[in-house]
Chain A
Amino acid sequence: MNWTQELRQGNVIVSPGEPVDQENAEDCESRLVSSVEEASHSGGSLIIDFCNVDYMSSVGLRSLMMAVKAAEQASVKILVTGMNETMQEIFRISGFEKLLLVHESLESALAAASAG
């Protein structure tokens, strides 16, 4: 995957960097769950930046749900940002917009992560 990851002020920021579908969803899932663990160890939140993620199919949503479950177990907050029109629609249809904290920008997600 075109995955990038960094740690900022104890928060883990990840970018899948490409659409998430049947080809890479399993890889995405294991990376997301690991980043939840990393966020837990560093005492911060997980921020998922969806820039360059043109779309996610239902297996992509599955990988996201696995991250949500891991995060709930570990008391890690997940914030998301960088969503294009299609991703916003997918989040709305699936109900994920009610499950994850959506931010307009990475800066705003970081501010919220550090405040919480």
Chain B
Amino acid sequence: MSKAPATLRLTLSPRLSELTRVRNELDRYLRDCSLPDSVRNTLLVVTEEVLANIVHYGDCDEASGPIEVTVARENAVVHMEFIDSGKPFNPLEQAGRATAEQLIENRETGGFGVHLVRELTNHQQYTRTADRNHLRITKHV
């Protein structure tokens, strides 16, 4: 029986151009975890949504240091954590109050990201600790 790989830890500069590398590393790691395709796919989406929001709206810059991502599989749960040292910012709060239905009705081209993160995962928790933003997300396998 093969062991699940150890925790994935990666860092990125707060730039959109980093997201491809992050996605590729995460994809490799999740495949090594032997997760169902649907779990892997949803975590790739969730990661892009969170990181894109931090980069776009989080007011991080090179001076505030890299964004950190950790991913670990623990039995039937995958734990993710996103940490950045920008201003106080919850990546899941910057969206407006519109429901997905309203976004569709109004033919909006943005705003779906937060809905995806909330509905594709089981639990999300934001905290601000020691001048850093922490977003923890869990997904049941």
Residues on A close to B: CB < 8 A? Answer: 19, 21-23, 54-59, 61-62, 65-66, 68-69, 72, 84-86, 89-90, 93-96, 98-99
Contact between A86 and B37, CB atoms less than 8 A apart? yes
How many of chain B's residues have a CB under 8 angstroms from any CB in A? 28
CA distance in complex: A93, B101 (Å): 9
Residues on B close to A: CB < 8 A? Answer: 16, 19-20, 23, 37-38, 41-42, 44-45, 48-49, 52, 100-101, 103-104, 107-113, 115-116, 119-120
Contacts across chains A and B counted by CB atoms under 8 Å = 82
Chain B residue nearest to A54 (CB atoms) is B41
Contact between B41 and A55, CB atoms less than 8 A apart? yes
Contact between A90 and B116, CB atoms less than 8 A apart? yes
Residues of A within 8 A of B107 (CB): 65, 68-69, 72
Main secondary structure of the interface of B (DSSP, over half): helix
Contact between B100 and A57, CB atoms less than 8 A apart? no
CA distance in complex: A62, B49 (Å): 13
Residues of A within 8 A of B100 (CB): 93-95
Chain B residue nearest to A21 (CB atoms) is B48
Kindly provide the distance from the CB of A99 to the nearest chain B CB, expressed in whole angstroms.
Answer: 6
